[in-house]
Chain A
């Protein structure tokens, strides 16, 4: 095929991926400049490989320049004017920067734009191609003049091909039997190794049991009643139901919910209140008395006030789709004048939807945590906004859900296992575009709002959310390819097509019990993000302390809070709407309203309305975000990526974390020894050598983790006489060839660190000798911004002088933490050695 034709045998293709077309000498134009390289179109993606030479192997499935075919929204081709002359080096020097004349290089070099579709034919030779992506990216490629005819032919060929295929491909890739098992095993294995709680996929009974145990939900059990998906096709295999309800009784209740999606537990607050979710009550069903008993046991009515929260105030999926489309339109260049930007933003109603979701989640969370009621989330279908609301409430109320793995487990449970119809909602099934609605992206936006408002409460960062956002369109991750566990088990979106079962891998497990698809889950980040990129997923400013465990152990809230109504109202059924509670019986009990409810219900009106007497200081562990206009912002780093002026994005306050953390000044280290050791500025030259650096025994995926000393294989405490074990700064990745290439879970990025202390830091600081080594193999990343996953196009990629030296570079904030840990360890070890009774000054162990 063309791959061989172009000599691109070394292309980093995925298993099963075929290079359809390739064009060399293409320029990718970003905000900061243009990069030359090769543009490829495979049957999965469009990829741009920078560098003059054909690409060598790259371990990552997703580079920053590649886009999955089904993520492409629009392709525009155009003919250039003076574009390439402006780009040649000679023109650069001739035009000069200082003169008044600048080469007319701008968007205006793009004429005759044509939106390409599968059926359109190009009547001219395209010189420029703009790829508008679903994930708000905009990739622009420029085809130079040389070899134009041939190139254009190819380009035209593959573009037409690709658009036609983008549709078909999306389906095919869903069942694409990649042989990426080894990758998956490696990376997932990594996670386990790192000792952090793994992401629960909720495919197996153990996962459900384990999570239930973590929640401490006494009175609930895992029911396997739906193991064969015969009770409810779209529900997961296992359900959390009250222990008092036998499976036999449970089966009675399915029929009374739409789509048989029965009420089940989502989350259990330590104070005993429960969060349940269910589909709407089936209109036609008329439960008998026995059924009613089972239903009420299931809904937890009787022991605590039970609040039915419906999703009427939330936007419907079509609303979300409309708003998202408008947002996409607004985020195109030049869509709104600067002075009309705000009203245009309001006009999209996207932020209004975000606010509605946040507000509702706050209400539900304060009911659970503050008022000790159980809440049943009810949506007619229980497959869209229930997912969103259930996850948001847990993010607010459960600190565990705010850790990276907790969040992944949450998405896995409330979205993937719960049966959110991802293929329809993300538009993978082009047959039914009407059902497209980015509910999940709305959820990510809400999460980002929380992250922005509470930068220290989350274990993950904006970079992680962005990665997840982009990964929803990846064709080779199984997570978002299926609409429920049943379908996943069958391994196909639609009825299996011819390619469903290809014996390429030969390892397809035919047993029905194994639901694992061969495709890796999206959580295998190692597949498409480098270690450095992954390091940016962890929030170094995460402060698990103040927002520790939920308030069950909070002495303030011991016993029943004054605001809780348990006791007085057990058995009450209320409905939550517009921030107030009104008594509402179950449909089968209509007309039998307990009169005493009326007496106190009105007083609840102000509940969590954030007006009047709202909960003053939320219990620890509970986040109460502000959903007011000034506090809800546009996720600029995500949505404005396509704007040319935003492509080298400055830091803004939409980025509180980054804007606080990135800019970095020298740590005010008092240089008490003003570098007396010129030849060896390593810090431990100033302390007794035998206790120089103790490799920390922990091997966590911890950004605060210190890389073990590469040259010290054994524990230094066992060899106290060892002299000066660490010749280099132990905080740097040592490119020692002898050093075993074990996967280094150290999240620290040595380069920014290196740069930081080399350039704008106190140069006499004995702690930070400039690192003599240059990581040539380092993945090319925008170092200025730990959350930015995309490479800085201003920096040419295979640059031998990498890292670049300008002042924008700032360290990964993890460095501070890292440095601290190092110092602590050193101090601790030293004190032990000295047999000082005095312990280390502070147990501020980096909390991870």
Chain B
């Protein structure tokens, strides 16, 4: 570990008070750490650095710098923004820091130069094997999953791809319909083969298939067509259900659109000063709308509901087609499973789902996250899109999920943490070959990759408590649930969709100013509302409306609301570093803290009562109150920043701040402000 010590390298007003600020770049490639007297104030993984700019003119840092900047702003992928003033720093230090940042955050690099590998070869092998997430890297995992979803009658797990002889993009093991032969799998490197994702309780299955690329050669495309027809014929015959194919590339926004929308959306929250914040504030809603990000979320959710409708109501198999079947296919199939399979709404189930559909399923994390800074063209926040969609569900039906929105937030952050292997490879093949190649070459000990699902690496137990939803409605006993589902179906038979369909969306907003006119228009609008719904009923809408007109079963099917007012901004993820949006003593944490307190108190009292009753003196059953504290939490907790430049509890040097620290921060913050007043 090489420390670049840069005295007086910063920035803040604290400097004048004589606090030594040290900016360090550890090992030249891990991150930036800012510390006062050895106390780490914050650290940033360089892999998190989105882009860095300098100067008042907000010039982007590029390779050649004529003049070294006095001011440096670092924008992170987790939406933090750091301001550094380098005026008091020695020029050579500035050079080292700035060129280090440029080098490691912008220039392309080789996969094996990722910090991941250095870390994996040096990592302490202390992770316990308690991680129960199904990794789907063995044939058994797939067979278990088939059994769990009762898909084993019609589908089989195959090991055709062992040694990657079919395709490097496919996982070692996967599941196909029983009738699909090994030869046909081998024929086009796995293209044109329906690959099983999941079977729903009525036997209908969700399949995905990577499409053939457009061929110039007529005969080739003829052959491909014949091949496909053969495949379709076999899987349309009994015992398979009807099949509906859905080409996602035509019905969903392209990756490029998603990337553009997210980039624009992100800008709304990458705020480096208050002025910007208040400038965007005036037109907040229209700005938000113009980014199109929420609209994309809506479209994706809608598509997922359509697929659910086919599976659930029409008992039709659904085949998702995409060129590689590893981008939007993953989004849709994961969403469908989250909506339909309550197991996917538990923490383990969700992790297994991500493992199955994304990590093993072959989503190109390396390219999509652009970890190597090679090409911006491949970059697209597809996984983030999934998390955003799942968040919509979580916030609409919080008690249906075992995990919290905080879980989703830290998961989205973990995408860029270079010590976990989970999100740093394009495919299982790439991971295998790279690691074996490296080991052969360097003769080093085998890499010990950490998986992100081992949350204890990142967070201590207290902090991990925030990932679990204390108010999760746990699934009742199996036999009960059987009865329940039976009755649930029965109810569905009897109840009809009674909500009227929503009238066709049209017309803008009227502009007339006088009350009188408006009253007239209100009348007309009402008339129009009633008139305008003569359109033929659409089965999607009926399904959606009828589901929403019934009480929710948290362990059954879950459909998100996708109407205009219902799609929201994921406030925790996007607003958490913005002090202007902070509420002292407010936010959901205020009630959550209270609930946790109460539950714990009840628990403790019961333990105590039982103890006293049995007169057994068993010592340490009293849990330490987790949130018992007089400190007032801010709405940004547990991510709270009290000053923009302040601490993000990051890993692995620090864990989340628990409450005492928050309290400390409050005090420290007061000092800072006092100081600023004195200046």
> What is A's interface to B at a CB cutoff of 8 Å?
29, 31-34, 73-74, 76, 78, 86, 92-93, 95-98, 100, 102-111, 113, 115, 130, 132, 321-322, 325-326, 328-330, 332-348, 351, 433-434, 436, 453-457, 541, 543, 545-547, 556, 562-563, 610-613, 616-618, 620, 623-626, 628-631, 634, 636, 640, 643-648, 650-653, 656-657, 659-670, 672-673, 686-688, 759-760, 763, 767, 784, 792, 794, 804, 806-810, 813, 816-817, 819-820, 823-824, 826-827, 830-831, 834, 836, 841-842, 844
Contacts and interface: CB of A to CB of B under 8 A. Distances in A.
B594 A543 contact: yes
B617 interface: no
Contacts of A628: 277-278, 281, 284, 580-581
A102 B550 CA distance: 16
B568 A653 contact: yes
A809 B583 CA distance: 31
B534 interface: yes
B668 to A, nearest CB: 10
Given A329-B521, A617-B666, A760 B295 contact: no
Given A100-B539, A325-B522, A624 B471 contact: no
Given A643-B563, A669-B603, 7 more contacts: A100-B314, A107-B503, A455-B588, A626-B582, A648-B551, A763-B477, A827-B609
A340 B285 CA distance: 10
Nearest to B275: A611
Given A455-B590, A541-B591, A759-B476, A844 B597 contact: yes
B473 to A, nearest CB: 5
Given A97-B546, A341-B565, A813 B605 contact: no
A251 B508 CA distance: 55
B431 interface: no
29 contacts: A33-B549, A74-B522, A102-B497, A106-B537, A107-B530, A335-B507, A339-B295, A339-B505, A342-B288, A345-B285, A434-B515, A453-B635, A456-B585, A543-B590, A613-B677, A626-B583, A630-B571, A631-B575, A646-B563, A650-B566, A652-B396, A667-B603, A670-B603, A672-B606, A686-B613, A688-B613, A759-B476, A824-B605, A827-B608
Contacts of A326: 509-510, 518
A86 B499 CA distance: 12
A69 to B, nearest CB: 18
B385 to A, nearest CB: 17
A824 B612 CA distance: 13
Nearest to A842: B601
Interface string B507-549: 1111001010011011101111111111101010010011011
A661 B522 contact: no
Contacts of B505: 334, 336-340
B642 interface: yes
B252 interface: no
Contacts of B503: 107, 333-334
A687 B556 CA distance: 39
Residue in A329, A616, A648, A810 whose Cβ sees the most chain B Cβ within 10 Å: A616
A342 B289 contact: yes
Contacts of A669: 602-603, 606
Given A31-B499, A628-B281, A672-B610, A817 B289 contact: no
A106 B533 contact: yes
Contact of B551 (A102, A344, A610, A804): A804
B292 to A, nearest CB: 8
Interface of B is mostly: helix
Contacts of B598: 816-817, 820
Given A97-B546, A433-B515, A547-B585, A647 B499 contact: yes
B286 interface: yes
Interface of B: 274-275, 277-278, 280-286, 288-289, 294-295, 298, 313-314, 395-400, 469-477, 484, 488, 492-510, 513, 515, 518-519, 521-523, 525-535, 537, 539, 542, 545-546, 548-556, 561-569, 571, 574-575, 580-588, 590-595, 597-599, 601-610, 612-614, 621, 630, 632, 635, 642, 666, 669-670, 672-674, 676-677
A351 to B, nearest CB: 8
B219 to A, nearest CB: 40
A321 B515 CA distance: 8
Contacts of A620: 632
A330 B581 contact: no
A644 B613 contact: no
A547 B621 CA distance: 31
B312 to A, nearest CB: 10
Nearest to B550: A794
Contact of B533 (A108, A347, A562): A108
Contact of A97 (B288, B314, B397, B493): B493
Contact of B395 (A104, A434, A652, A666): A652
Contacts of B548: 31, 645, 648, 650
Contact of B575 (A108, A342, A630): A630
Contacts of A617: 584, 632, 642, 666, 669-670
A834 B534 CA distance: 75
A454 B476 contact: no
Residue in B398, B553, B613, B635 whose Cβ sees the most chain A Cβ within 10 Å: B398
Residue in B313, B496, B568, B612 whose Cβ sees the most chain A Cβ within 10 Å: B496
B473 A807 contact: yes
A100 B314 CA distance: 7
Contacts of B566: 650, 652
A332 B609 CA distance: 55
A760 B473 contact: yes
A660 B595 contact: yes
Residue in B294, B499, B556 whose Cβ sees the most chain A Cβ within 10 Å: B499
A650 B396 contact: yes
Nearest to A645: B563
Contacts of B509: 326, 330, 335-336, 340, 343-344, 347-348
Contacts of A456: 585-586, 590-591, 593-594
A321 B397 CA distance: 35
A339 B571 contact: no
A332 B529 contact: yes
B496 A97 contact: yes
B632 A32 contact: no
Given A102-B497, A345-B285, A794-B549, A665 B564 contact: no
B105 to A, nearest CB: 28
A543 B593 CA distance: 10
A636 B564 CA distance: 11
A813 to B, nearest CB: 7
A335 B521 CA distance: 11
A830 B397 CA distance: 40
A146 to B, nearest CB: 20
A813 B594 CA distance: 11
A826 B526 contact: no
A423 to B, nearest CB: 17
Contacts of B476: 759-760, 763
Given A92-B496, A453-B635, A664-B399, A115 B568 contact: no
A73 B530 contact: no
Contact of B581 (A436, A630, A813): A630
Contact of A453 (B278, B506, B587): B587
A816 B471 CA distance: 12
A661 B493 contact: no
A55 B606 CA distance: 47
A342 B265 CA distance: 14
B523 to A, nearest CB: 5
B568 A660 contact: no
Residue in B535, B583, B672 whose Cβ sees the most chain A Cβ within 10 Å: B583
Contact of B610 (A328, A651, A673): A673
Contacts of B550: 32, 648, 794
A656 B591 contact: yes
B474 A98 contact: no
